[in-house]
Structure formats: structure tokens, C-alpha cells
Amino acid sequence: MSKRTLPFLLAAFALAAIALISAAPPAPLKVHAAQDNQPVYNAKGQLQLPANYREFVYLSTGIDMNYSPNATQAAGRSSFDNVFVNPEAWRSFQSTGTWPDKTMLVLEGRVGSSEGSINHSGHYQSTERTGLEVHIKDTKRFPADQFPGGWAFVSFDDGADGSLFEPKANCYTCHQQHAAVDTTFVQFYPTLLPLATSKHTLSPAYLAEEAARH
């Protein structure tokens, strides 16, 4: 091989290498799987507010709901209760008609407004929040012999560190006696009740109450 031929051969090899690189399929992008929306507790054992709870699955909104038979509504002041659930729990409920461990149902209360901008009738949700609670199922953290079904109620009215409702609170007894599925009020959610009905997971207590109502 002459010294004159060598540069031409090197150039040809370089062009061939570039062509092979261009023809090769691009390397797949690294996609990091999103972490499950699992409950997080601080060093004191307090549940931490899920920062992205408004990205959870929206279930429904109740307006002026009150479970007391003698309840009265404040004049001109409505209340909206928005409920969200972590996506993993929602997918499980769709398959089974009941809630898996680590379910988090977030209840966000907001004051209703009627006068604002161009609105002349009805009510809409204001920016004023009236409360924030999480109904969580965590059987290791909240044993069933103390918390019905392993569920606990946690308030976040005072910040991101949850304040646990003690097991003697009325909310536990009420949910245990009247809830349609697994101590949760599935009967008030249009996307949940048909699923639970089709999966035959409605509680005997709820079915008895419904039979008595009709």
C-alpha cells in the first residue's frame, strides 16, 4: 500500500462509520417510573400531607352535607367537600370493589360563594378552605384491634403534620355503622357505588339500612 493510498482509505472508513452510526436506532430514553403514592410519616409518627393530593383521582363533591338529623345550614353559606383518592387505590377498587392497604382518601372542604364576577345564581367554590382530612388505611400503623379495619382519620387543619383522631372519636363509630364498603361512605360516590354493587362488596349494615329506607 502506498503512502498516497492510505489517507483515502482512512477517509472511506470514517465515512462508513458515520453512516452506520446514523442508521442505528437511537438509544431508548431512560424513563424513571413514578413512585407509588404511599403514606409518609415523620419521625414522630405523624402522617405527612400528600403534597400532590390534587393530582389524585377526583371522586366527587358533596354540598352542604351533614349526617346529623337535626342539622341546620348557616344562612347564605354553603360548603363543598371535595374527595380525592390515590391512583393505586382507585385502580384496585375498580378491580375488587374494596380498598387495598395504603389507601388515602383526602377530604378538602371549601366555603361556597354565590356573589362574584358575573355569577348571579347558584354557588361555586371559593379559595377559602374550611378543613383538610385524610382517611387512611394502614393496617401496620393502625392495628384493627384499635382502629376499625385498620383505618384512621387524620386532620391537617394546622399544617402538613397530621393530627390523629383518637379511636374513641365519633367518626370511627359512624363509619363503622353506616359505611357501604370497608368503613368508607362509598354510597355517596357515583363512580364507586356501581362498582361495589357489581362486585358484591356492600356491607350488610348498609344493605339493611337501604332495605329499611325503601
- Cα-to-chain-centroid distance, residue 88: 8
Q: What is the DSSP letter of 97?
A: S
CB 138 within 8 A of CB 164: no
**Inside any domain, residue 206:** no
**Inside any domain, residue 7:** no
Amino acid symbol at 200: H
Q: Which CATH number characterizes residue 102's domain?
A: 3.50.70.20
Q: State which residues form the domain around 80.
A: 36-67+76-168
Please tell me the predicted confidence (pLDDT) of residue 22.
45
**Inside any domain, residue 151:** yes
Contacts of residue 132, defined as CB under 8 A and 6 or more positions apart, other chains included, come to: 49, 106, 107, 108, 109, 155, 156, 157
Please tell me the predicted confidence (pLDDT) of residue 72.
59
**Inside any domain, residue 6:** no
SS3 of 133, please?
Answer: strand
With residues binned 3-state (H G I as helix, E B as strand, rest as coil), the percentages for the chain, rounded to 5, are: 30, 25, 45
What are the DSSP calls for 135-181, one per residue? EEE-TTTS-TTTSGGGEEEEE-TTSSB-EEPPTTSHHHHHHHHH-SB
Please tell me the predicted confidence (pLDDT) of residue 71.
56
Neighbours of 187 (CB within 10 A): 17
**Inside any domain, residue 43:** yes
Which residues sit opposite 131 in a β-bridge?
109
**Inside any domain, residue 199:** no
**Inside any domain, residue 143:** yes
In this prediction the pTM is 0.79
**Domains identified in the chain, total number:** 1
**Inside any domain, residue 1:** no
Q: What is the pLDDT along the chain (214 residues), one digit of tens a residue?
A: 554 544 444 444 444 444 443 444 444 433 333 457 899 999 999 999 999 999 999 999 999 998 877 655 555 678 999 999 999 999 999 999 999 999 999 999 999 988 889 988 888 889 999 999 999 999 999 999 999 999 999 999 888 899 999 999 999 999 999 999 999 999 999 999 999 999 999 999 999 999 999 8
> Backbone dihedral region of 76: left (phi > 0), alpha (psi from -120 to 50 degrees) or beta?
left
